[in-house]
Amino acid sequence: MDPHTHTVFAGNRVAEFLARARGEKYTGGGILTTVQATRAASEEELVRLAKPRLLRMLGQGVTTVEVKSGYGLAPADELKMLRAVRRLGEELPLTLVPTFMGAHALPPEAPREEYVRLLVEEMIPAVAREGLARFCDVFCDRGFYTVAEARTILLAARRWGLGLKIHADELAYVGAAELAGELFAASAEHLLHISEEGIRALARAGTVAVLLPGTAFVLDEPYPPARRLIEAGVPVALGTDFNPGSCPLASLPFVMSLGVLKLRMSPEEVLTAVTLNAAAALGLAEELGSIEVGKRADLVIWDAETFAEIPYWMGQNLAWAVVKGGRIVLGPGGPRWPV
């Protein structure tokens, strides 16, 4: 289960990738490159582009994927992205959890205060009325949305019945994790620069820490403090953060390897982080994430003797068969659903 992705987008950022390889620092400004390409794409094209990405995830044993918007940054384009997510969920044997992230970056054409007002008064209500998202996420970080702005946006989302998520303290410490705890958010995500008070706030609230070591790997940044979070009683989930800029990585098994090697998590903790804790981050722990009577049978059969081999055999796909809702959808013979 992948509890954090940005799978629906157009274009790529190969130039940015190569610039980083030359030692240039990531600032997040490349998001607007993807915004331009995504705005130019039709809903049909976004569906066409995202479908093979999601099928590759399925082929590696992922049956549930959270998909954020945030490359539209305008009412029509954000709704277009979320409608594409809805269509993909109808066409593929995957559970897709849509998250509205109109507060991903600031659009170049709108003043800051005006765009926050647009999010609160127009975009969130439109998303909620059409039932296009389960959660609302805000990028609360240096150079993006302030804690005060994030609080305003997320409280509006709560009034409209959306669950809350926060991209928190990824690029610098700003107190976003403390805000996640204050608002009892479902999850706080990234957390590379979380404070000790932020850790305590998440523990008090029961907020899931969704850690994304693939992003730290790609950006060559410090890894999030998984051990400190776990020891403080914070539930930890792992996700890919698959996106075209800071983490063009869609392999959850590789992220599991990073969890063991770089986050110092045990194989048992990593397994929990991509199953039950990931389900909790998506509000699905009552129906998914563990093998129990009454839950949906989303299962993976691995070509391995123990689950510790999944992170051990780095970069290899050991998923032998994938079961979705009690039905085999992918096996040694290939797909088993109508294509």
Whether 37 is in a domain gets the answer: yes
State the DSSP code for 45. Answer: H
Q: What share of the chain is helix, strand, coil (3-state, %, to 5)?
A: 40, 15, 40
Specify the number of domains making up the chain: 1
Query: What is d(CA 331, CA 320) in angstroms, rounded to the nearest whole number?
Result: 6
Query: What is d(CA 318, CA 1) in angstroms, rounded to the nearest whole number?
Result: 16
CATH number, domain of 191, equals 3.20.20.140
State the DSSP code for 5. Answer: B
Residue-level pLDDT at 27: 73
Give me the domain span that covers residue 210. 14-291
Name residue 178's amino acid.
E
Structure tokens at 253: 């098994």
User: In sequence order, what are the residues at sequence separation of 6 or more whose Cβ sits closer than 8 angstroms to the Cβ of residue 198?
Assistant: 168, 169, 173, 175, 176, 177, 178, 180, 181, 188, 191
Backbone angles phi, psi at 195, to 5 degrees: -90, 170
Query: What is d(CA 225, CA 31) in angstroms, rounded to the nearest whole number?
Result: 26
pTM of the prediction?
Answer: 0.96
Residue-level pLDDT at 24: 85
Whether 95 is in a domain gets the answer: yes
In a structure prediction context, what are the per-residue pLDDT tens digits for the chain, which is 339 residues long? 999 999 999 999 999 999 989 988 877 779 999 999 999 999 999 999 999 999 999 999 999 999 999 999 999 999 999 999 999 999 999 999 999 999 999 999 999 999 999 999 999 999 999 999 999 999 999 999 999 999 999 999 999 999 999 999 999 999 999 999 999 999 999 999 999 999 999 999 999 999 999 999 999 999 999 999 999 999 999 999 999 999 999 999 999 999 999 999 999 999 999 999 999 999 999 999 999 999 999 999 999 999 999 999 999 999 999 999 999 999 886 776 664
Residue-level pLDDT at 73: 98
Whether 197 is in a domain gets the answer: yes
Residue-level pLDDT at 256: 98
| Maximum CA extent, the chain | 56
> What strand order describes the sheet that includes 299-302?
299-302, 319-324, 327-331, 334-335
Whether 204 is in a domain gets the answer: yes
Report DSSP letters for 113-136, one per residue.
Answer: HHHHHHIIIIIHHHHHHTT--SEE
Residue-level pLDDT at 339: 45
Whether 328 is in a domain gets the answer: no
Query: What is d(CA 133, CA 59) in angstroms, rounded to the nearest whole number?
Result: 25
Residue-level pLDDT at 118: 98
| β-bridge partners, 29 | none
